[in-house]
Each structure stands twice: as structure tokens, then as C-alpha cells.
Amino acid sequence: MPHQRSTEKFELNDVLCQNKFCESLTIREVNTFLEFTEAVSYKKGDIIANIGEIGDALFFVIEGVTGLFHENQGKEVEIGELEAGELMGSMSFFDDKPRSARIRAMSADTKLLRISKVMYNRLRVEHPYIAVLLLEQAIMSLDHLFRGVSIDIASFNQYMYGGVMR
């Protein structure tokens, strides 16, 4: 149904325009970016990407929350959450190494925007400015996760050692 796709594209455009990624893009450039992506949906608990896989796609969280999980002695341990506007899956996508975390939908209706590696490579050639902004978004998302983990580690050390630096 073409009408449904154009409505979906309009809604995605609306969401992306509220994102830092699109601050310096024109509406035409946002629409161009959307042509390189696909909208995907997941239900709560669905695995979006699994440990050990090589990342073949990046994901923007459009709606809902996703969780990052690590396995420790056969049990899943949550190591972070990503909300609307954040990019995920970038480490394995860019370094071609197996994923070290599982990405799981945490909301009943999680909506993502997916860009495959093939489409990203085309974007780099055809629209390098947009590709650079996407790369910057990946850096900011990784920074957000790293800072969150750093705060958790600092809090743990404070708890364990009472603030004594060794």
C-alpha cells in the first residue's frame, strides 16, 4: 500500500527531525536518509541482535526502549538501555567483530529504523554529509553508554571501597 508507506515516511520524518542527528539536515536530506532505511518493529522481549553476530545493520530507536545485555555464567545481565533517538549496534557494524552484547526490545511496541551495511556504504558514496552525521551520532551513542557504565563503576567502587583511591 503506497499510501501507508508515505504516511509511515512522514511519521518517521517527524520523529527524526526532533533528533540531534537531523539538526543540520534539510527536510529533503532527512527524506533522502529515510530512502536508505527501513522501519522495523519488535515486541517486548524480542531479540534484535544477538551476541556473537557480526553487525550488518545500525538501528535508530524511534519508539520504545531497548536493552543491552551481556551473558554472565549463563544469565543475562542488563548493561544499558537505549531510548528514542539513540543509535545502537554501531560497534560491531563498524569494526566487523562479533557483537559482545544482546539487544532486546524492552517495550511492548518497539519501533526502529534500520540501515543495512550495504545501504550505509551507498549513503557514504552518494551522500557523504549525511553519512558523516550518522557516524557522529554513533559516536555520541557510544559515549552515552560509556559514560553510563563509568558512573556505575564509580558508584560500585565508592560502595566497595568507601571512596578510598588505590
Range of the domain at 121: 37-159
For residue 23, being part of any structural domain is answered with: no
User: Which percentage of the chain shows pLDDT scores above 70?
Assistant: 70
Grid cell in block for residue 59: 538501528
In this predicted structure, the answer to whether residue 24 has a pLDDT above a threshold of 80 is no
Grid cell in block for residue 165: 583511591
Three-class SS of the chain: CHHHHHHHHHHHHHHHHCCHHHCCCCHHHHHHHHHCCEEEEECCCCEEECCCCECCEEEEEEECEEEEEEEECCEEEEEEEEECCCEECHHHHHHCCECCCEEEECCCCEEEEEEEHHHHHHHHHHCHHHHHHHHHHHHHHHHHHHHHHHHHHHHHHHHHHCCCCC
Crossing angle between the packed helical segments 117-126 and 128-161, to the nearest 10 degrees:
130
Task: Give me the pLDDT at residue 95, please.
Answer: 87
Question: Which residues contact residue 154 at a Cβ distance below 8 angstroms, ignoring those fewer than 6 apart?
Answer: none
Grid cell in block for residue 80: 544499558
For residue 16, being part of any structural domain is answered with: no
For residue 93, being part of any structural domain is answered with: yes
CA dihedral sign, ordered 124, 129, 132, 136: negative
In this predicted structure, the answer to whether residue 158 has a pLDDT above a threshold of 80 is no
- Whole-prediction pTM value? 0.73
Domain CATH number, residue 113: 2.60.120.10
For residue 10, being part of any structural domain is answered with: no
For residue 110, being part of any structural domain is answered with: yes
pLDDT digits (tens, 9 = 90+) for 28-87: 888 898 899 999 999 999 999 999 999 899 998 888 999 989 888 888 988 888 888 788
For residue 115, being part of any structural domain is answered with: yes
Task: Give me the pLDDT at residue 30, please.
Answer: 83
For residue 128, being part of any structural domain is answered with: yes
Task: Give me the pLDDT at residue 157, please.
Answer: 58
In this predicted structure, the answer to whether residue 14 has a pLDDT above a threshold of 50 is yes
The larger pLDDT score, comparing residue 11 to residue 38, is at: 38
For residue 41, being part of any structural domain is answered with: yes
The total number of structural domains in the chain stands at 1
Say what the alpha-carbon torsion angle 57, 59, 65, 68 is, to the nearest 10 degrees: 40
In this predicted structure, the answer to whether residue 151 has a pLDDT above a threshold of 70 is no
